[in-house]
Amino acid sequence: MPILDELKAAIAKRLPELDVVIGWGKGFDALHHTPVFITSEADLDKLVLGPLSVQNLATYLTRYPKTKKIGVVVKGCDSRSVVQLLQEKLINRENVVVFGFPCEGVVDLEKVKRAFEDQGMEAARVSEASFQGDRCTLTSGGKAGSLPMADLWADKCNRCQYHDAVISDEFVGQRLERKAEDAYADVAAFEAKPLAERQAFWQEQMSRCIRCYACRNACPLCVCRDQCIAQTREPNWVSQRTGVEEKFMFQMIHASHLAGRCTECGECERACPVGIPILLLKRKNNKEILELFDYRAGIDPEAKPPLLAFKVEEEKINERGW
Amino acid sequence: MTTMMNPYLPEIATVLEVIQETPNIKTFRVVLNNKDRMAKFKYEPGQVGQLSVFGVGEATFVINSPPTRMEYLQFSVMLTGEVTSMLHTLSPGDQVGVRAPLGNWFPYESMKGKNIVFVGGGIGMAPLRTLLLFMLDNRKDYKNISLLYGARSPEDMAFKYDLPDWSTRKDMTTVLTIDREAPGWEHKVGLIPNVLLEMNPSPKKTVAITCGPPIMIKFTLQALKKLGFEDDQIVTTLEKRMKCGVGICGRCNIGTKYVCVDGPVFTYAQLKELPNEL
Amino acid sequence: MSAKYLAQGDLSAWLGALAQGRRVLVPVRENGAVVFRPYGPGTKPVLTRQADSPPKESVFPSTERLMEFSYSKDAENLGKVALDIKETVNAPATVVFGGRPCDARGFTVFDRVYDTKTIRDPYYAERRASTLFVTLACDTPETTCFCNSVGSSPVDADGSDVLLTPVDGGWLVEAVSERGKALLDAPALKDATAAAQDQAKAAKEAAEAAMPPAWDAAPAAAKLLEKFDDMGFWDDVSAKCISCGACTYLCPTCYCFTVTDERSGMKGERIRTWDTCMSFQFTLEASGHNPRPTKAHRLKNRVGHKFSYYPDIHKGPIACCGCGRCIKLCPVSVDIREIVRLAMELPTATAGKP
């Protein structure tokens, strides 16, 4: 049975006990999926699954009262957000039903756009798209083109260590049990650049920011949202000026609040409408966390996130050595 | 001076006097520094102004002194947020910004020759004070004037300096009430809507003007309906978060109506026409 | 003035000429996103697709200083502090080059609010007067384009000063406003041949024909008001919304703002910055009460304002230019077309006012 049908069956089975199940459905064009909210068996027809199922649906979990019974379909990376939310007691385990599946990866739509642009095709004018095996075929403006999926996977998928959800109540399909390496080579490469170059890079990137806070609101773990310090006047810590300083200040706050919590789903970066590579900031933090605490967020529901715990003697932090 | 002024630019004004009305309400009497503009300053009862503390921001308050008494402009400020906290630190001589007048006003022309019932609760007495004093200064234009003013406790009653006059004047009836018994209180005890029903004003050729906290307004409207008031005989004034004050910035609208320019004064009949987003 | 012709090879010559004594904003690519940036020698404008950010900043900057203020202590009496404020209107001469018809038309929605018989916002009005739009007509729609459903078209000149239409080897250049004519007096522009004019005419017709079928958005005005209290409807259509402000900040017609003070020591400034009705903080009152407490209330305001309140107040025009950015760039693909259509099609649940 195709995985999608198995998924529908699994959801149908659990639906009676749930208020809603969040999955993906067809979006506004052939290159977009969009979150769908399933409350009846009839809604199951809306479900789709594939390389366009980019959104991390775990971000909706904290938008419901903790008492609601929510089902959520997760990719491997999304499942880590669920675990982290459980670790922080932001959701109730008994009120969340997790539907996992073996995730081959999702595309980076920016890469799709650029790769097809190089073939003289506009992804924004797509009429048909298909993902068969290792090829992506697109029809746009009467022209058809094909590209290897290898060129289109999101960066996070190329380094993915968790194709199969790390937590699930219903898992459909065969586990992939694949694991790529992730030694934070991108962060290391960036860090190797001279300070002036790094500064200039962020100056240019952040100057594009429109302060829409899509990065914050797409993040499954950025849970202050309505009360975010970025927009409050009491306290008034971040000015409403839209200079690079203020924008970068917000990103620093955002990244700091996610240190040791960020599960690297990359939604912040994907949600950014002007293509600012802000996941890099969070990966820098995670690299440090991994080195210091040998910890990756959102893997073990029972683990204590290192920055939410206290040890008198940290193994790798020399606190009293001077 | 250009024909159309910069609508965002406040006039600088000086605080003349600060009155501690209640534990959390202070009244500020201010005059515009530009004497000529102060002399020519025109507004109508019920219109609001934006008070600025530069460096903190602006907030909206009704001008609660009547245009018939132009020695100063009076604003009463309840301590609630960032700007009001800063306003509460001001002393006489301090400089503020004033953008006024903004918004519409009480339709006092159409109230001429009618009986007037004021029902005010807490800080909601501020807009009523403007109109009440204005009517007292034009007393012959109106028939019977009665006032029901309530607060939680005697300490929470603002405008205490007005009360002796209002309570003893022969040309108006004043009823004061507090929510619960308090030592030394010689007036009514009871919630405003209940006391209003007790007062039993006739709706005949009468206009009721009410302002107060949302819950009080809700039950006062019910009481007025019970007494036989029609929707267009009831007038109230709304509060919303405002920024520009001139119908542009987009936050104070209820559907198509902008409280800062189409309001803050609405009849109950008009309110019922608005979408439900108070 | 008759139409002109600009050869592709003469584009930078004309841009260079326009940039004499002016700021010229052109769409350029930055890390995958196309945004408007000042033109300089070597700048390569991206004219093949709609920019991700519209040129809204040109007339309505994301931060605008409204005034400066300063406090000064009286040397004789230190308790006495004087206050001075200074108006700071700033309107640099600007040409926005290479925007699309929807981008320029967005400002016509601002005009009805910012510069009227009763109110004139000098910051906006001055910038509007000092900014000209050289607009590129569209040839092929994107999947999110719907300008023809909101009273416009891919070749609409409304709000623009000069219209460029692609023809063989370059563009037909037409002045479409009085002030646009002055821009055509440039050596880089040649008189257009009759053939080029015919080609442009055909290109415009083809562009209009390429649009998806138009739907009539006018009935939405009444339908959206009718659905005001139907919170079930709004909860459903807003379910996937994550309450960010991408849709409003990327919208050429969204004009809401906030005003805040910035003080440093004895002086500071009062600034106006973009604000978004999708934010909880937008309508939050000091008392803690919020008339639009949920994302459903806020999405209702965004859609309602564009398709109902604004057309009602201004007798017709819809406050949406159909550019589709709010759909295309929404992280979760909230589709305003779908919401408006559902509002018109679905029956309204009868919910009484409490």
Domain boundaries, chain B: 11-101, 115-237
Last residue of a domain, one of C183, C210, C237: C210
Q: Do residues C52 and C126 both lie within one domain? A: yes
Q: Do residues C193 and C233 both lie within one domain? A: no
**Peptide linkage before A235 cis (omega within 30 of 0):** yes
What does the alpha-carbon distance between residue C274 and residue B20 come to, in Å, rounded to a whole number?
Answer: 37
* pLDDT of C281 strictly over 70: yes
Any chains having at least 3 CB pairs less than 8 A from chain B are A, C
Output the six-digit token pair for B81. Answer: 């947020």
In a domain, C352, yes or no: no
Q: How far is C65 from chain B (nearest CA, A)?
A: 11
Please count the other Cβ atoms lying within 10 Å of the Cβ belonging to residue C50. Answer: 24
Q: Do residues C112 and C195 both lie within one domain? A: yes
Asked if B255 reaches chain C (Cβ–Cβ under 8 Å), the answer is: yes
Name residues 19-38 of chain C within 8 A of A (Cβ).
Answer: 30-33, 35
Domain boundaries, chain A: 1-106+158-182, 109-152, 183-322
What is the mean predicted confidence (pLDDT) over C103-121?
A: 96
Asked if A2 reaches chain C (Cβ–Cβ under 8 Å), the answer is: no
Cross-chain Cβ contact C333/A213 below 8 Å = no
DSSP state of B230: -
Q: Do residues C183 and C283 both lie within one domain? A: no
Cross-chain Cβ contact C286/B256 below 8 Å = no
pLDDT in tens, A211-261: 999 999 999 999 998 889 888 877 888 889 999 999 999 999 999 999 999
Confidence of residue C351 (pLDDT cuts 50, 70, 90): low
Q: Do residues C189 and C232 both lie within one domain? A: no
- ipTM of this predicted complex? 0.94
What's the mean pLDDT when you consider all of chain A? 94
pLDDT in tens, C219-239: 999 999 999 999 999 999 999
Q: Do residues C140 and C273 both lie within one domain? A: no
Q: Which domain holds residue C24?
A: 4-210
Cross-chain Cβ contact A236/B82 below 8 Å = yes
Looking at A75-89, B233-247, C321-335, which range is the least confident one? B233-247
In a domain, C331, yes or no: yes
CATH number of B115-237: 3.40.50.80
CATH of A109-152, one of 1.10.3470, 3.30.420, 3.10.590, 3.10.450: 3.10.450
pLDDT of residue B4: 64
Output the six-digit token pair for A91. Answer: 């959701």
Considering only alpha carbons, which residue of chain B is nearest residue C81? B94
Cross-chain Cβ contact C273/A205 below 8 Å = no
CATH of B11-101, one of 3.10.20.30, 3.60.20.10, 2.40.30.10, 2.40.128.130: 2.40.30.10
Please count the other Cβ atoms lying within 10 Å of the Cβ belonging to residue A6. Answer: 17
Residue contacts between B and C (CB atoms, under 8 Å): 125
Considering only alpha carbons, which residue of chain A is nearest residue B80? A234
Asked if B54 reaches chain C (Cβ–Cβ under 8 Å), the answer is: yes
Cross-chain Cβ contact B54/C225 below 8 Å = no
Task: Count the domains in chain C.
Answer: 2
What's the mean pLDDT when you consider all of chain C? 95
pLDDT of residue C286: 84
Cross-chain Cβ contact C305/B81 below 8 Å = no
pLDDT of residue A153: 97
Looking at this protein, which amino acid is placed at residue B19? Answer: I
Contact (CB, 8 A) for B99 and B10: yes
Q: How far is A201 from chain C (nearest CA, A)?
A: 11
Cross-chain Cβ contact A234/B82 below 8 Å = yes
Cα atoms found within 13 Å of the Cα of residue A128, Cβ hemisphere only: 9
Q: Do residues C205 and C301 both lie within one domain? A: no
Q: With H, G, I as helix, E, B as strand and everything else as coil, classify residue C97.
A: strand
Last residue of a domain, one of C210, C233, C255: C210
In a domain, C56, yes or no: yes
pLDDT in tens, A44-80: 999 999 999 999 999 999 999 999 999 999 999 999 9
Asked if B81 reaches chain C (Cβ–Cβ under 8 Å), the answer is: yes
Cross-chain Cβ contact C142/A240 below 8 Å = no
Q: Report chain C residues whose CB lies below 8 A from the CB of A124.
A: 49-50, 142-144, 328
CA A210 to chain centre: 21
Q: How far is B146 from chain C (nearest CA, A)?
A: 29
Provide, rounded to the nearest whole percent, the portion of chain B with pLDDT above 70: 99
Q: Do residues C151 and C9 both lie within one domain? A: yes
Residues in chain C: 354
Cross-chain Cβ contact B243/C257 below 8 Å = yes
Q: How far is A115 from chain C (nearest CA, A)?
A: 11
